[in-house]
Amino acid sequence: MSVKKFRLNLAVVYMANPANFQSPIQSIITRLSWLYRLDYSIADAHQVVAELPDDKLCDLIYLRATEHTVISAKVFQQLVNQMFAEAALFGCVDIFFQLQKSLKEYPFPADFVRPLNYPYSEVYEDGKKRLCIDPQALQDLDVTDSDPLLN
């Protein structure tokens, strides 16, 4: 399935203690990126909203479709909005997509992650590409002394 390429910037403003919400929200977005094959980059503590009080933390999550992406921009936006609707209702976080006209001001970074077949990804840093394995996948391995491959 081929979809039209797109770019989206997702802003996450933490209205309550960021330590309680930042890691789970970033984890969900990165997992969605794996699932739907979106390039992504996360800028922690970014000043996205000029009116944002100094004591509020905001992350900017850059998302970009590739030739392997299997979801449209509209459907992805609806999915994210539905997933985080309750968090917004409780006043914990404010999650919104930047307007398309703002994308020029916040271009997709040169350092990013391109999910491949799980648990592999390509990480682009300083113009170099390296193959990585998701750390969570390594933690999920159950390697024991009784494993015949180890003996």
pLDDT in tens, 84-140: 887 665 677 888 999 888 889 889 999 999 999 888 999 999 999 999 998 777 776
Evaluate the omega torsion of the peptide bond into residue 119 and state whether it is cis, within 30 degrees of 0: yes
In this predicted structure, the answer to whether residue 149 has a pLDDT above a threshold of 60 is no
22-26, 39-43, 49-53, 62-66, range with the lowest pLDDT: 49-53
Alpha-carbon distance 57 to 44, whole Å? 8
Mean pLDDT across 43-67:
77
- Looking at 3.10.50, 3.90.930, 3.30.70, 3.40.50, the CATH number of the domain 7-139 comes to 3.30.70
Mean pLDDT across 53-58:
70
Q: 94 phi and psi, to 5 degrees?
A: -120, 115
How would you label 52-80 residue by residue, b for 16+ Cβ within 10 Å and e otherwise? eeeeebbbbbbbbbeeebebebeebbeeb
Report pLDDT for 49: 56
Alpha-carbon distance 5 to 11, whole Å? 20
Residue 96 contacts residue 81 (beta carbons within 8 Å): no
Q: 12 phi and psi, to 5 degrees?
A: -125, 110
Report pLDDT for 71: 96
Alpha-carbon distance 46 to 18, whole Å? 13
| Domain extents in the chain | 7-139
pLDDT band, very low/low/confident/very high, at 58 (cuts 50, 70, 90): confident
pLDDT in tens, 9-22: 999 988 877 788 88
What average pLDDT is seen over the chain? Answer: 84
Q: Which residue has the higher pLDDT, 98 or 50?
A: 98
Got the DSSP string for 74-85?
A: HHHHHHHHHHTH
